[in-house]
Copies of this chain bind each other. A is one copy, B any other.
Amino acid sequence: MAQLIADRRDIDFVLHEVLNVEELSRHERFSEFNRKTVDMVVSEARNFAVKEMIPTWKEGDDQGCKFEAGKVIIPESFHKLYQLFNDGEWLGMNEDPEWGGQGMPKSVSSAASEYFNGANFPFMMYPALTHGAGKLVEEFGTPEQKNTYLKNLYTGKWTGTMLLTEAGAGSDVGALETTARKNADGTYSITGSKIFISGGDHELVENIIHPVLARIEGAPAGTKGISLFLVPKYRVNADGSIGAFNDVICTGIEHKMGIHGNATCSLTLGGSGQCIGTLLGEENKGMKAMFVMMNEARLLVGMQGYACATTAYQYAVNYAKERIQGANLLKPNEGGVPIIQHPDVRRQLLTMKSYVEAMRTLLYFIGYCNDMIATSEDQAVRDKYQGLIEILTPVAKGYVTDKAFEVCNHAIQVYGGYGFIEEYPVAQLMRDCRITMIYEGTNGIQAMDLLGRKLGMNKGAVVMDLMGEMKKTIRAAKEHDVLAPYTEKVGVALEKLGETAQHLGKTASSDKVLTAFAHAYPFLEVTGDAIMAWLLLWRATVAAAKQGSAKSKDIPFYDGIIKSLEFFTSSVLPVTMGKMEAIKATNGACVEISEDSFNG
């Protein structure tokens, strides 16, 4: 079976033809990242993903993780892979060279991330969470904390996690019960139990660093009384060597539907009263710190889900071109043909294609917004791009993972009976993908974030900036007659999205707040659809400009980009319009129905 992950041609298209990332190298910060370097990075990432990562993916699923005699055993092959990943210094792609990073633009590292997560996202969670923990230390740590932990995290010598969830505190983080008691030496004794801790325990490295949310004794209830602590599995001596066990005990691992290769642990902290942590940031400001990490984590989850989709799409197209089954409808007597000739298979493939392309462009664009912030001196420009990241985050997490799951689901259907068989890759892709709709805030919570926080952010200025970007694309598209019918449809949809947003925002501030929030998720859906349409139009505008002078091998590629737009605006956007009608009607049935009426 060919080992496929992502479409390199389309990755190059987004990086170089849509976003022109080479322009970033004009700025000192990214001066090393000229076209040649960027291409080399992407090629290296692809080679590493194909040669080293893919072979461990299914094995990791089959072996899973085991909990034996108090120890967590992760898939055998992950040990060597982890070493190779660190040898390649991939963990710190975007980090400041000061901390051992490569200082790469985030738009560019998005491509590497697509390959890595597409190849083995359960494995990738170990370095990704390590990176997240490192970010917290970098942003909120004291010089001592940084010296103790940061380099060891960013080089992957130690791994990191994120300890939020408890049995009674999932979506409602403020309900947590883990406590911290201040000791005479300024450290804190931590007591509590955490669940669903990805990479919470294993023997991959000599130490694991846990950022832990806990409540200092006497602190206010709810999120206002939550502080963040740094709790290592083994204490670290003054000389940096590994010290005593820090009373962080794994009590079990979860048996999950997917991502079997990643250990999801229950941890008990301070069961023997010997768990010591140091405060990270300020007392009672833990949630704020956590949100810094959470926003990045949400974008990561979007990438994880998306990566399943891009891989599933590649497999499905490849399979559909090779699998012979059934005659062409127009030639019923000429025997079996590749199933890509069947209209319903094509419908599914083009559905997958248009979503995958638009989602890729969205995620890379968000990386690009980060790069614009990193390279701009102008505060207004920085604010604008920061706002775009903020409003696009619930879409990149909540909408993208939902659509990614649908794409994986289509891939199974394209494979037919083989799709249900675990020897083929698509079943696992769907199982792995499913968690991305849940963790780091369920997609319902992403929808509430969009409606409740992002829509009114900066008095609506963020929405206006996003609309401004969209209108810029429409103006550019109008230069191309070939795009005219689609451009018009995108324009009409954006107009209607604006009305829908205004209506729903108003309803959310009225006494119909519950009914408004019952439509938060559909609103996330239509917003996502509109953003997909915008990005497909942007892509098609670039393609249309190049079509005339394209090399012959690029002609079907550019044509395919315009076909994605045509399909999406003709077959998906009318459905989006219907969804907006439903939101504008804002029916209250699901709020009004009595609890007793749900079952007899």
* Copies of this chain in its oligomeric complex: 2
A43 at interface, CB cutoff 8 A: no
**Contact across chains for B422 and A257 when beta carbons are under 8 A apart:** yes
Q: What residues on B are CB-neighbors of A257 within 8 Å?
A: 420-422, 427, 430-431
Which residue of the partner chain B has the closest CB to A353? B598
**Contact across chains for B600 and A557 when beta carbons are under 8 A apart:** yes
Measured CA separation A443–B254 after assembly (Å):
34
Q: What residues on B are CB-neighbors of A589 within 8 Å?
A: 350, 563, 566-567, 570-571
Measured CA separation A168–B595 after assembly (Å):
51
Q: What residues on B are CB-neighbors of A427 within 8 Å?
A: 256-257
Q: What residues on B are CB-neighbors of A566 within 8 Å?
A: 587, 589
Q: What residues on B are CB-neighbors of A330 within 8 Å?
A: 513-514
Candidate in A9, A324, A343, A412 with the most chain B CB atoms within 10 angstroms: A343
Measured CA separation A33–B552 after assembly (Å):
73
Which residue of the partner chain B has the closest CB to A437? B413
A30 at interface, CB cutoff 8 A: no
State how many angstroms separate the Cβ of A152 from the closest Cβ of chain B: 29
**Contact across chains for B321 and A563 when beta carbons are under 8 A apart:** no
Q: What residues on B are CB-neighbors of A413 within 8 Å?
A: 437-438, 442-444
A184 at interface, CB cutoff 8 A: no
A157 at interface, CB cutoff 8 A: no
State how many angstroms separate the Cβ of A397 from the closest Cβ of chain B: 14
**Contact across chains for B560 and A593 when beta carbons are under 8 A apart:** yes
**Contact across chains for A582 and B575 when beta carbons are under 8 A apart:** yes
Q: What residues on B are CB-neighbors of A405 within 8 Å?
A: 409
State how many angstroms separate the Cβ of A208 from the closest Cβ of chain B: 21
Q: What residues on B are CB-neighbors of A448 within 8 Å?
A: 344
A574 at interface, CB cutoff 8 A: yes
State how many angstroms separate the Cβ of A527 from the closest Cβ of chain B: 15
Fill in one digit per residue for A73-111: 1 if any B CB lies within 8 Å of its CB, else 0: 000000000000000000000000000000000000000
Which residue of the partner chain B has the closest CB to A259? B420
Measured CA separation A175–B515 after assembly (Å):
54
**Contact across chains for B416 and A442 when beta carbons are under 8 A apart:** yes
**Contact across chains for B559 and A582 when beta carbons are under 8 A apart:** no
Select one of B7, B168, B326 contacting A324, CB under 8 A. B168
Which residues, 144 to 174 on A, are CB-close (under 8 Å) to B? 165, 168, 170-172
State how many angstroms separate the Cβ of A183 from the closest Cβ of chain B: 31
Fill in one digit per residue for A567-600: 1 if any B CB lies within 8 Å of its CB, else 0: 1001110111111011001010111111111111
Q: What residues on B are CB-neighbors of A349 within 8 Å?
A: 590, 598
Which residues, 488 to 546 on A, are CB-close (under 8 Å) to B? 513-515, 517-522
Measured CA separation A320–B567 after assembly (Å):
39
**Contact across chains for A344 and B578 when beta carbons are under 8 A apart:** no
Q: What residues on B are CB-neighbors of A453 within 8 Å?
A: none
A346 at interface, CB cutoff 8 A: yes
State how many angstroms separate the Cβ of A224 from the closest Cβ of chain B: 11
State how many angstroms separate the Cβ of A540 from the closest Cβ of chain B: 12
Fill in one digit per residue for A316-358: 1 if any B CB lies within 8 Å of its CB, else 0: 0100010011110110000010001011111111100100000
- The chain A residues found within 8 Å of chain B, CB to CB, are 7-10, 13, 165, 168, 170-172, 175, 196, 254-258, 314, 317, 321, 324-327, 329-330, 336, 340, 342-350, 353, 405, 409, 412-413, 416-417, 419-423, 427, 430-431, 434-435, 437-439, 442-444, 447-448, 513-515, 517-522, 556-557, 559-560, 563, 566-567, 570-572, 574-579, 581-582, 585, 587, 589-600
A170-B417, A353-B598, A571-B589 known; 5 new pairs, CB 8 Å cut-off, are A168-B324, A254-B423, A329-B517, A413-B442, A556-B597
Instruction: List 10 A-B pairs, Cβ < 8 Å.
Output: A168-B336, A172-B327, A314-B599, A344-B520, A413-B442, A416-B438, A560-B596, A563-B592, A571-B589, A578-B578
Q: Report, nearest first, the 3 A-B pairs whose CB atoms are least far apart.
A: A9-B600, A578-B578, A560-B597
